[in-house]
Chain A
């Protein structure tokens, strides 16, 4: 029992997730200190009600988009068009529903959702086509749709805010099955991706393409197909997120739906410890990152931070998290810590353990997956270890 907790503590200490999780907990505690009711959750009309539930519900679109973004970034790419795709999905779904013969029927909602997601699939194919086949730099290739996409959404809605009254459609973003349906969808997608990429070799292949697409191709991987697929997946995630956003308020706002959400998603991925240089990703990290971002927003609202300084406050928290995660800072903390806990391990050992990246980063699906360790890590670790022992 005590041995198990000891290893858990060691693993947490070494994990990249440590500081993001600490930041998340600190934010929640700060809120609870300011407003004691913050952590309380009660039943209201048959569903959970409370600030924590709001964080989950409103964070779901960001989480879903960040999930798609994680895989794109793992292949050394980036997708800037997700916000625009989300806007298009909402616009198409709402106009389809309003234009159908019975706008309040579930059938109309299903048609609207189907049409919207099919279109997102096509948009994903377009992004993937530009990046994988034409070899355009991802940031430029997806910038095309980022700029043009909102125009397309405006064209679809005729520049108006389209209001729908459809109870079935409303469920996606505002409905509850005890928990908010939106977060259930996002978590289901997260688990599915974790299973598919971590229980099979797919995750390793994606990382391998991210490290070196050409070498991967020569080693017999279909680099192009993998890259193409992750862009399609990202667009579909963005589409579902767009449906959530518009369903939450029962309206499609082509101008503002999903505005700047691509930046939030990228930030969530980075806070979660995935490398923007590709070749390494952490799904559990993305989950924590997305939750931090939404908690931050909710904190601003409930603590009454003045709108003029909101962005500064957010920036400070994000800078703090990123600094704490930086390898140099981590090494510093890791060196100091063992002095406080002399009982656990001889200090040299604890150092090297902390300096290594924890395998748990890499597999959300396998919390105990110590056995399989991606190539990138094995290469990285000795280097960091050396630095620590030198200093």
Chain B
């Protein structure tokens, strides 16, 4: 019985799907035409990675708020770190004929099929925060996100300025997870920037896996094997916070005896900066909502946008941290 029904059911579904495809492309074209002409409210489908950290939660909130202020209707989905969930969400946005799709890809590969579906349906796609690895650059309009090399450079430039007039500056580096893009790029940018000052030397560099425990353990070992450390450069705030604990346990004063530079500017890091335990933080901002909404309006209106847009990010000294801390969103 079941065997007989099954093929029939399957073919029925297939036909329905085909019909849906046909109608959606036509309707999408109509919708975008209307959007451009009549000034209708733009509808954006946003497929978020998940809520794995405070950074990501702030990112989500910011996108939602920016959409409201920009007068864009946001359809939001949370993929819980799973690619299949994200693909499902994007397909449903295509079905709902939204005007623009934005998403942070969970992984770099495997997006070609679904992006092609969006392209055929004439729906522009914007990548946020993370890139995709695809040969066909026409599958998405633009990629909005941080430039990790620039972050490393900013950290290095501050140190070069701070080290003027000093004869020797010994730096230890706490790297992020080996092989992760932020770790590779932040190391590269920093190394580039400190070439300008020959007295600055990186005397030890080791991975702390972006965690506080990792940062603390590595720093404990560094303190014992290197008698003279002047500066710690940590690829994120958490490792820097771990290093602070290790430095304090060694009877030294973080921020004075040993200066600390980190990247990210999450709340705990900013607090330590305001307390004088960290000397300088380069921001890696999740607050890209406003830029995203601007881009969305442009691509829907058919204007050309640059292929790569870098998030607006700043840097914080101890003084700036004190003023910025009360109004920080994450």
The CA of A248 and the CA of B211, in the complex, are separated in Å by: 12
Evaluate contact between B224 and A253: CB separation under 8 angstroms: no
Evaluate contact between A54 and B221: CB separation under 8 angstroms: yes
The CA of A245 and the CA of B56, in the complex, are separated in Å by: 24
Evaluate contact between A307 and B206: CB separation under 8 angstroms: yes
Evaluate contact between A256 and B213: CB separation under 8 angstroms: yes
Evaluate contact between B268 and A163: CB separation under 8 angstroms: yes
B64: CB under 8 A from chain A? no
A-B contact count (CB 8 A): 96
B280: CB under 8 A from chain A? no
B230: CB under 8 A from chain A? no
**Which of A51, A160, A250 makes the CB contact (< 8 A) with B221?**
A51
**Which of A251, A297, A304 makes the CB contact (< 8 A) with B217?**
A297
Evaluate contact between A249 and B212: CB separation under 8 angstroms: yes
> Within the complex, what minimum Cβ distance (angstroms) separates A233 from chain B?
25
Evaluate contact between B224 and A308: CB separation under 8 angstroms: no
A44: CB under 8 A from chain B? yes
Evaluate contact between A37 and B224: CB separation under 8 angstroms: yes
B236-294 CB contacts (< 8 Å) to partner A: 238, 241-242, 245, 249-251, 268
Q: DSSP class of A's interface residues: helix, strand, loop or mixed?
A: helix
Of B26-34, B46-54, B117-125, the one contacting chain A is: B46-54
Residues of the A chain whose Cβ atoms lie less than 8 Å from the Cβ of B225: 35, 37-38, 51, 301-304
The CA of A334 and the CA of B312, in the complex, are separated in Å by: 68
B188: CB under 8 A from chain A? no
Knowing A161-B54, A249-B213, A257-B213 touch, does A304 contact B206 (C-beta < 8 A)?
Answer: yes
> Within the complex, what minimum Cβ distance (angstroms) separates A105 from chain B?
21
Residues of the B chain whose Cβ atoms lie less than 8 Å from the Cβ of A37: 224-225, 227
The CA of A298 and the CA of B218, in the complex, are separated in Å by: 8
Residues of the B chain whose Cβ atoms lie less than 8 Å from the Cβ of A300: 206
Evaluate contact between A159 and B211: CB separation under 8 angstroms: no
B141: CB under 8 A from chain A? no
Evaluate contact between B221 and A249: CB separation under 8 angstroms: no
Residues of the B chain whose Cβ atoms lie less than 8 Å from the Cβ of A256: 209-211, 213-214
Evaluate contact between A248 and B207: CB separation under 8 angstroms: no
Residues of the B chain whose Cβ atoms lie less than 8 Å from the Cβ of A91: none
Evaluate contact between A307 and B175: CB separation under 8 angstroms: yes
Evaluate contact between B217 and A245: CB separation under 8 angstroms: no
Query: Which of B175, B212, B214, B218 has the most CB atoms of chain A within a 10 A radius of its CB?
Result: B212
Evaluate contact between A301 and B218: CB separation under 8 angstroms: yes
Evaluate contact between A159 and B242: CB separation under 8 angstroms: no
The CA of A338 and the CA of B217, in the complex, are separated in Å by: 43
A45: CB under 8 A from chain B? yes
Knowing A174-B245, A308-B178 touch, does A159 contact B206 (C-beta < 8 A)?
Answer: no
The CA of A255 and the CA of B238, in the complex, are separated in Å by: 13
Evaluate contact between B221 and A301: CB separation under 8 angstroms: yes
Query: Which of A44, A253, A302 has the most CB atoms of chain B within a 10 A radius of its CB?
Result: A302
B216: CB under 8 A from chain A? yes
A325: CB under 8 A from chain B? no
Knowing A163-B268, A304-B204 touch, does A50 contact B53 (C-beta < 8 A)?
Answer: no
> Within the complex, what minimum Cβ distance (angstroms) separates A246 from chain B?
9
Evaluate contact between A253 and B211: CB separation under 8 angstroms: yes
> Within the complex, what minimum Cβ distance (angstroms) separates B277 from chain A?
13
Evaluate contact between B241 and A54: CB separation under 8 angstroms: no
A49: CB under 8 A from chain B? yes
B220: CB under 8 A from chain A? yes
Knowing A58-B217, A301-B218, A302-B221 touch, does A307 contact B251 (C-beta < 8 A)?
Answer: no
CB nearest neighbor in B for A151:
B80
Evaluate contact between B53 and A160: CB separation under 8 angstroms: yes
Evaluate contact between B207 and A310: CB separation under 8 angstroms: yes
The CA of A304 and the CA of B205, in the complex, are separated in Å by: 7
Knowing A50-B224, A54-B224 touch, does A160 contact B213 (C-beta < 8 A)?
Answer: no
A-B contact pairs, 13 of them (CB 8 A): A35-B225, A37-B224, A44-B251, A159-B53, A159-B54, A159-B56, A160-B54, A161-B268, A251-B241, A253-B238, A255-B52, A307-B206, A310-B207
Instruction: Beyond the given A49-B250, A249-B216, A256-B209, please list 7 additional residue pairs across the A-B interface where CB-CB is below 8 A.
Output: A38-B224, A49-B251, A160-B54, A160-B57, A301-B225, A302-B224, A303-B225
**Which 8 residue pairs across A and B have the least CB separation, nearest first?**
A301-B221, A302-B225, A249-B212, A307-B207, A302-B221, A256-B211, A307-B178, A51-B224
Which residues of chain A have a CB within 8 Å of any CB of chain B? 35, 37-38, 44-45, 49-51, 54, 58, 154, 159-161, 163, 174, 245, 248-251, 253, 255-257, 297-298, 300-304, 307-308, 310
Which residues of chain B have a CB within 8 Å of any CB of chain A? 51-54, 56-57, 175, 178, 204-207, 209-214, 216-218, 220-222, 224-225, 227, 238, 241-242, 245, 249-251, 268
